[in-house]
Amino acid sequence: MAISSRLPCSLDARDEWSRARALTLKTLHGSVETPIFMPVATQAALRFLDLECAHQLDYQVLLANTYHLLIRPGPEIFQRYGDIHRFMKWDHAVLTDSGGFQLFSLSKQISLSEDGASFRSYTDGRRILLTPERSIEMQKTIGSDIMMVLDHCVSSTSDEATTRAALELTTRWAHRSYTARGDSQQALFGIVQGGCFTHLRRESAAQITSIDFDGFALGGLAVGESKAEREDTTEFAAELLPADKPRYLMGVGTPIDLLEAVRRGVDMFDCILPTALGGQGVAFTSHGKIDLRRGVYRIIDDPLDRSCPCSTCARFSRAYLHHLVKAQEPIVSQLISTHNLTFYRSLMRRMRVAILSGTFRELYEREAPILLSSDTENPPVPPARRRALR
C-alpha cells in the first residue's frame, strides 16, 4: 500500500533552456533547497574539518556512511545517544548511504549472495552479514533524515550480463529495504542501476520507480566510465525518474560535473573531492582549478581567489599555502578544504538563484569554461625540446 511521502517536495522553478530545476524539500531537521551538494562526513565527521565549518557555510545536509558506522562505533552508541545528530552535534539533515558502494569497492574481500554481503570488520576481524534489512535497521538506529536502499553496484565498464544481474539484485533488495523501513518517518530513496546501457537503465528505472520511494538516485556512475558517457547516461536516466520527487546523482563530483548534471535535471550530489583534493593541495576557484604543488606558486602573493570570502583567502597567500603543501604540514588540508567547501556552496547557490531568475543559460555559458580550466593564470610550460646531436 502506498504511503504519503516522508519528504514533502515542492517545485520552486524549472529552467526553460535546460532541464535544471529548483526544489524545496522538508526533512525531519529542516528545509533543504536544491540544487544541493552534500559534504561527505563518512564516519560522522568531515575530513580535516570541524563541523562548525559546515554550519558557518549553511550546508543543509551531510552524508554519513552506514557500512563504516555499523563497524565503528556500532549501533549501541547511536542507541545510547539517541541519533547521529546528538552524537556529532549537527542540527541539520543527514543522508546515510546504505553501504552498497563499499560492497563494490571492497568486492575482493566480500562474499555476495541473494541474502546480502558477508565481510570481516576492519577493526576486529569479526564476520558481518549486511542484508537490506540490517542496512535499513542500522540507518533507523543512526536516525538519518534520508536513508538509501542497499544496492549492488558494479563497474560502469562491466559487460551487459554482469550489469543486468546487478540491477535485478538491486531491485529485489529495494523491495526488501522498502518493507524493512516500516512506519519510520525517515525518508527512503531507491537507486537505479544499469551502467551505461540505456535499455538496462530504462528497465531499472521502471522497476525502482514502481516502488513508492520518497526520492530516487542514479547509482553506478563515476566508477569507470568517461565524462561524456556519464553525462549522456545521467541525462537519459534522469528523465526516467518522477518529476515530483528529488533526483540524486551519487558520488559526483567536480564543480563542472555538478553544473552539467544540474543542467540535465539532477537535484542532489555528494562527493569526497572538495576535502580529498584539498588535502593534496588542489583548490577550485573562480579562475579554474589550481594545483598548489606546482613550483610556480612559490612566490605568488595573491590569495587563492580574490572573490572568495573564506578565512583561508582572507589570510593566506598562494605562496604560503604552497610552502605548507611542500612541507606536508597537516594544517594545509584544513585551509584548502575550507576554501573548497566555500566554493562548492557558492556554486550551488548561484545555480539555484539562476534557475529561479531564469538566467541559468547565462550562468552555464559563463561558468562552464572556467570550471573546465586548470591553472590558467599560470599555465604549465612544456619543457623545451633538445636539439639532437649530430
Alpha helices in the chain (DSSP H): 51-56, 66-71, 75-81, 84-88, 100-105, 132-142, 160-181, 198-209, 227-238, 255-263, 273-278, 311-315, 318-326, 331-357, 360-372
Contacts of 114 (CB under 8 A, 6+ apart): 169, 172
Angle at 93 between CA 88 and CA 99, to 5 degrees: 75
Report the C-alpha gap between 193 and 188 in whole angstroms: 16
Residue 97 falls in the annotated catalytic set: yes
- C-alpha distances out from residue 135 to 199, 215, 216, 306, 332, Å: 29, 18, 17, 45, 36
Tell me which residue of 85, 83, 92, 86 sits closest to 54, measured CA to CA.
92
**Cα angle: 222, vertex 223, 226; to 5 degrees:** 65
Cα-based torsion angle of the residue sequence 172, 176, 179, 180 in order, rounded to the nearest 10 degrees: -160
Main-chain phi, psi angles of 151, to 5 degrees: -125, 165
Q: Provide φ and ψ at 39, rounded to 5°.
A: -60, 145
CA angle (205 as vertex; 203, 210 as ends), nearest 5: 105
Kindly give the residue spans of alpha helices, DSSP state H, lying in 110-157.
Answer: 132-142
> Which residues lie below 8 Å from residue 37, measured CB to CB, with a gap of 6+?
59, 258, 269, 270, 271, 344, 345, 347, 348
Sign of CA dihedral 312, 316, 322, 328: negative
Active site residue 257: no
Active-site residue (options: 145, 214, 267, 270)? 270
Cα distances (Å, whole numbers) of residue 324 to 104, 126, 149, 178, 380: 35, 40, 42, 48, 21
Instruction: State the catalytic residue, choosing from 97, 145, 214, 267.
Output: 97
Could you give the residue numbers annotated as active site? Answer: 97, 270
